[in-house]
Every structure is written in C-alpha cells, then in structure tokens.
C-alpha cells in the first residue's frame, strides 16, 4: 500500500514538474531546521514548468496530509465544545463562540509571492483587511485571572483549584477530540521547510535574477520578491492603505512574474521539494493522517450535527 | 477597535520621540496598533513572542495585529530590563487568544507571503526551529 501511495505521488509530481535535470540547492536549502526531521537532500529534478493560474488549483504533495480549512474549523470547534464542558466542571461558563472562518487559510494565491493583479491594484503589498482580524474575537469577556488559569493551565500561572488539566481546559479540549496540535505545527513546518528550500534552489535564484531584471526595465530596483514586499516605504504606517507608489510597484511586480511564468516555475520547484520531504517522512505523515482522520470522526461525534 | 485613537497617537508619539532622542536604547515599544495592556506579561486574549526561548526572557504580549515588526521593542520591565528590538530577536511564540488562531511569520502579514508562517491555535505555541529564530516579522489573527 505504501509503495502504491509513493508511486502514485511520484507520478503526480513528474506530471507537474517534468522528469529530468536538476539544479543545486544552496547551503541554506540543505540545512535541516530544528524540529523538521527531513533527510539531507540533493536538489530534486525539475525541468518542465507548467502554467499555473493559481496555487489554489495546484495539487501539492503535502496537501494529502494537511487539514483543509473546513476540517480545521470543525476540529477547532469540537475542541472548544470540549473545553466548555471542562470549564463547566469548574463552575465557569465558557462560550465556544462560532466556527472559525479562516479566510486566509483558504486562499494560497499569494503564498509564493504577490500574484494577484487585482489585489496588487487595490492593496499593493498589504493584506486584504477582510482576510484577518485585528484582534482575537473575545467571546468570553470578563474572564478573571483565576478563570484564565483554568482555561490555559500553568502557562499563565498557578491555579489554586484542584484538578486543572495539563494545558488547562483548552488542552483537555484538544485531547478529547484527539487532535494533535503538535502534529499540526509539524506539518506546517514541513511546508515552511519545502518553501524555504524552493526559494534557495538555484533555479529559483535564477528566476529571481530574471525578475529583478524585468523590474529594473520597469523602473524599479529590487533584488528579489522579499525586498519589494519589505520596502520600508510601504510600512511606515502599516495601518494606512497602500499609496500610489506601492500599488504601481506591486502591479509591475505581478506583471513581471506573469511574463516570466514565475508561478509555474516556483510551483514546480515547490512540488519537487515537497515530494522529497514527503518521501523522507512518509511513515510519520501517514500516521499523522490516520490520526487526523480519527480526530475528524471524533469531532463529528462531538458536534452531532451542530 | 477597542483601543482609542488617543492611545494610538500616544504610542506613535512616544515612538517618534524615542527614535529622535535615541531613547530606543531604553526599549520603547511601538506596536502598529496599541493594545490595552502591553506590560511584558502574557495574558488571556494576547499573543506572546519570547525573546530568549519558549517562555524565556522578555515577552512581547500583544492583543492586536502587527504585520511589520520593524522598530518594535519588547516592553521594558523590571524583571528583564530594557526591551531589545523585536524584529530581530524572537525564539518562541504562544497564542493566549480565546478564540482565533494567531498567525506568526516572516512577511506573512504582507500579500507577498514568500516567507514562512505558522498558525497557532488558542492555548498553543512552540519554540521556533533554529533557522527561523530571530526571523519573526509579523502577527495577525485569523478568526
């Protein structure tokens, strides 16, 4: 079964990424970041770069293992209901609030750099304010310090109440659903690691040089896509909407990327590194996937149609 | 927004004065949007960034969103003294929010999210992997 899964994934990657060639990763790309147990890698093969209209439509190797936004919201909401049950034992009413909307989680359009021309024209490099919240949504106003201890556990201090669970009632909520939040972070770090390796790959570095040349022809001097995003002129007052200079720069940036098939090339490289990471961690990944599927069943039972 | 514009103006005023006078050496904090209790202690409804290690050293306890940590400083507390700069000094993250996920990362606040990001659930957090230590530059809430 494992071999079948691996073969299927390799075929999928080859279909997207081509099947020969190979650049070399920079030293940074071969470093193993703490907490992400991947094997040392040689640069994966990438030649063909398909045209990718949006990263949302691309199938990435780690997608099989990461929870979708809907699954995440269900696991989270079920955990909160369990947290509320726990708090009730201590005589505290905890309002689980509503399901998370996770608008940012759902959309990875710009995950490899600004791609969306409409966004560039409207927001420049700033996030669409509709996609995030300025603050945590406090559905439990007036929580006292003592009650916070019970909710969060010893991370916030000592409680004089007996029987506070490890990591408080929130910790119990996640455990009751069987959702390993540590595994969730591990999966995110695998994705981060693949991305970091992809951007350090010499093919990405060459692409970035072409992008920089294109931008220069448009009148903008930046070495790479991070530099333009981090131009301090955009962030003097980050609450202020993007100005004309920022929007024009962002539009030139997006158009250069289109001209160079930036998204197609970067997606191919990312897919190849993700595939390499999947193969290096297949056993744990499959185990995490099975645990998540079980947690989803547990969550469905807790939610009972709610 | 629960913070008053007066508070925001105060924070910006303090920061501007600090920059001009060199008072940044004393660890003046300048989050993008002021919060009501920026006191170096993690509390419910805040996200915390740790300077030394996970739950070690100065804490940047913040209720709001800040997508560019440049010129931000850990609060100056008696316990840890003058707060060092936040944007090049962070090794751990924790979400003490009551409902939303806290998304920390590098460039994660901008649309050009070519850097890394990590989404922590309420009540959860972690130390940063070695190659991401001191590279945290943004925090926003996803609800």
Q: What is the pLDDT of residues A238-277, one digit of tens each?
A: 778 999 999 999 999 999 999 999 999 999 999 999 999 9
Q: pLDDT-based confidence at A200, cuts 50/70/90?
A: very high
Contact A101 B124 (CB under 8 A): no
Task: Find chain B residues with C-beta within 8 A of A131's C-beta.
Answer: 142
Residue B81, pLDDT above cutoff 80: no
DSSP state at residue B138:
E
Pick B28 or B49 by higher pLDDT. B49
Q: Looking at residue A198, what is its pLDDT?
A: 96
Which residues in chain A have Cβ-Cβ distances shorter than 8 Å to B43? 145, 148, 156
**Predicted pLDDT of residue B137:** 86
Phi, psi of B9 (to 5 degrees): -60, -40
Residues of B in contact with A36 (CB under 8 A): 129
Ordered alpha helix ranges (H), chain A: 2-17, 27-30, 69-89, 103-106, 117-123, 145-152, 168-177, 181-200, 202-217, 225-229, 244-259, 262-280, 282-303
Q: Which of B2, B107, B140 sits opposite A230 (nearest CB)?
A: B107
Q: What is the pLDDT of residue B88?
A: 76
- Give the tokens for residue A149: 């201890």
pLDDT 10s digits, A96-123 = 999 999 999 999 999 999 999 999 999 9
Cβ–Cβ contacts within 10 Å for residue B129, how many?
A: 19
Q: Tell whether the model's pLDDT for residue B27 goes beyond 80.
A: no
Mean pLDDT rounded to a whole number for chain A: 86
Assess whether pLDDT exceeds 50 at residue A135. Answer: yes
pLDDT, residue B34, reads: 47
For the stretch A151-198, pLDDT in tens is: 999 888 777 888 999 999 999 999 999 999 999 999 999 999 999 999
CA distances from A202 to A26, A29, B116 (A): 7, 10, 19
Which residue in this structure is represented by tokens 């929870």? A67
Q: Is B78 helix (H, G, I), strand (E, B) or coil?
A: coil
- As given in the structure block, the two tokens for residue A100 are 């998370």
Q: Which residues of A touch B121 (CB under 8 A)?
A: 76, 79, 174, 181, 184
Region B62-86: what's the mean pLDDT? 81
Chain A, 257 to 286: residues with Cβ < 8 Å from chain B are none
**Which pLDDT band, with edges at 50, 70 and 90, does A304 fall under?**
very high
- pLDDT grade, residue B31 (50/70/90)? low
Q: How far apart are CA A142 and CA A90, in angstroms?
A: 16
Does residue B62 register a pLDDT over 80?
Answer: yes
Q: Which residue has the higher pLDDT, B110 or A173?
A: A173
The pLDDT of B98-118, averaged and rounded, is 84
Structure-derived torsion over alpha carbons of residues A98, A104, A107, A108, reported in degrees to the nearest 10: -140
CB contact under 8 A, A156 and B44: yes
CB contact under 8 A, A136 and B98: yes
Cβ-based neighbours of B68, under 8 Å, separated by 6 or more: A230, A235, A238, B32, B109, B110, B137, B138
In this prediction, residue A213 carries a pLDDT of 98
Q: Do A235 and B121 touch (CB under 8 A)?
A: no
**Strand bridging mode B92-95 / B117-120:** unpaired
* Interface with A, mutate which of B42, B111, B121 (most A CBs under 10 A): B111
Angstroms from B75 CA to nearest CA on chain A: 18
- According to DSSP, residue B51 is labeled S
Q: What is the pLDDT of residues A1-58, one digit of tens each?
A: 333 333 334 334 433 433 333 444 433 333 333 344 444 456 777 756 778 889 999 9
CA–CA dist A147, A139 (Å, integer): 14
From A151, which residue of chain B is nearest by alpha-carbon distance? B123
Nearest residue, CB atoms, B131 vs list A33, A112, A229: A33
Q: Which of A171, A199, A238 sits opposite B67 (nearest CB)?
A: A238
According to the per-residue pLDDT averaged within each range, which of A221-225, B79-83, B106-110 is highest? A221-225
Query: What is the pLDDT, as a whole number, of residue A47?
Result: 58
- From chain B, pick out residues whose CB is under 8 angstroms from the CB of A200: none
Tokens of A170: 């929130």
Q: What is the pLDDT of residue A46?
A: 72
| DSSP collapsed to 3 states, A93-160 | CCCCCCCCCCHHHHCCCCECECCCHHHHHHHCCECCHHHCECCCCCCCCCCCHHHHHHHHHHHCCCCC
Inter-helix orientation angle A262-280/A181-200, to 10°? 130
Beta-carbon separation of B141 and A134 below 8 A: yes
The CA R_g of chain A, rounded to the nearest whole Å, is 22
Question: Smallest CA–CA separation between A39 and chain B, in Å?
Answer: 16
Which pLDDT score is estimated for A83?
97
Do the Cβ atoms of A192 and B118 come within 8 Å?
A: yes
How far is residue A186's CA from residue A178's CA, in Å, rounded to a whole number?
16
Longest dimension (CA), chain B: 40
- What pLDDT does residue A37 have? 44
pLDDT, mean over chain B: 75
Residue B78 has pLDDT above 80, yes or no: no
Q: Are A37 and A252 in contact (CB under 8 A)?
A: no
Residue A43 is classified by DSSP as: P
Q: Nearest-CA residue of chain A relative to B64?
A: A135
In contact, A24 and A202? CB cutoff 8 Å: yes
Residue of A nearest to B131 (CA): A33
Judged by CB atoms closer than 8 Å, whether chains meet at B142 and A100 is answered as yes
CA distance B129 to chain A (A): 4
Q: Could you tell me which residue, A38 or B13, shows the higher pLDDT?
A: A38
């Amino acid at each position: 079964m494992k071999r079948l899964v691996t073969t299927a994934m390799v075929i999928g990657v080859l279909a997207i990424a081509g099947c020969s060639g190979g650049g070399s990763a920079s030293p940074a790309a071969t470093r193993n970041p703490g907490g992400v147990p991947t094997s040392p890698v040689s640069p994966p093969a990438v030649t063909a770069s398909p045209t990718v209209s949006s990263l949302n439509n691309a199938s990435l190797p780690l997608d099989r293992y990461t929870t979708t936004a809907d699954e995440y919201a269900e696991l989270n909401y079920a955990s909160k209901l369990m947290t509320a049950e726990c708090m009730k034992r201590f005589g505290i009413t905890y309002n689980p609030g509503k399901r998370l909307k996770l608008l940012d989680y759902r959309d990875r359009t710009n995950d490899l750099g600004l791609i969306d021309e409409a966004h560039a024209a409207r927001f420049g490099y700033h996030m669409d304010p509709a996609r995030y919240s300025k603050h945590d949504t406090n559905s439990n106003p007036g929580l006292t310090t003592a009650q916070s201890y019970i909710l969060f556990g010893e991370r916030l201090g000592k409680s004089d109440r007996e029987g506070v669970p490890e990591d408080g009632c929130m910790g119990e909520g996640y455990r009751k659903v069987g959702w390993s939040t540590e595994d969730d972070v591990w999966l995110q770090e695998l994705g981060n690691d693949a991305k970091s390796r992809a951007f350090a790959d010499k093919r990405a570095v060459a692409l970035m040089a072409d992008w920089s040349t294109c931008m220069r022809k448009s009148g903008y001097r930046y070495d790479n896509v991070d530099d333009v995003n981090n131009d301090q002129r955009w962030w003097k007052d980050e609450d202020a909407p993007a100005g004309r200079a920022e929007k024009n720069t962002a539009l030139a940036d997006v158009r250069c990327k289109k001209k160079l098939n930036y998204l197609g090339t970067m997606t191919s490289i990312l897919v190849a590194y993700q595939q390499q990471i999947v193969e290096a961690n297949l056993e744990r990944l499959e185990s995490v996937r099975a645990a998540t599927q079980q947690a989803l069943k547990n969550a469905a039972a807790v939610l009972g149609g709610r | 927004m629960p913070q008053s514009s007066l508070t925001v103006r105060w924070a910006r005023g303090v920061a501007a004065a600090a920059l001009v006078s060199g008072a940044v050496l004393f660890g003046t904090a300048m989050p993008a949007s002021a919060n009501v209790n920026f006191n170096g202690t993690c509390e419910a409804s805040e996200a915390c960034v740790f300077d030394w290690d996970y739950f070690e050293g100065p804490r940047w306890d913040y209720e709001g969103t800040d997508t560019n940590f440049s010129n931000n400083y850990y609060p100056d507390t008696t316990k840890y003294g003058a707060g060092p700069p936040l944007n090049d000094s962070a090794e751990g993250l924790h979400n003490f929010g009551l409902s939303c996920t806290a998304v920390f990362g590098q460039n994660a606040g901008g649309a050009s999210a070519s850097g890394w990001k990590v989404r922590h659930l309420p009540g959860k957090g972690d130390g940063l992997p070695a190659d991401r230590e001191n590279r945290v530059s943004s925090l926003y809430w996803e609800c």
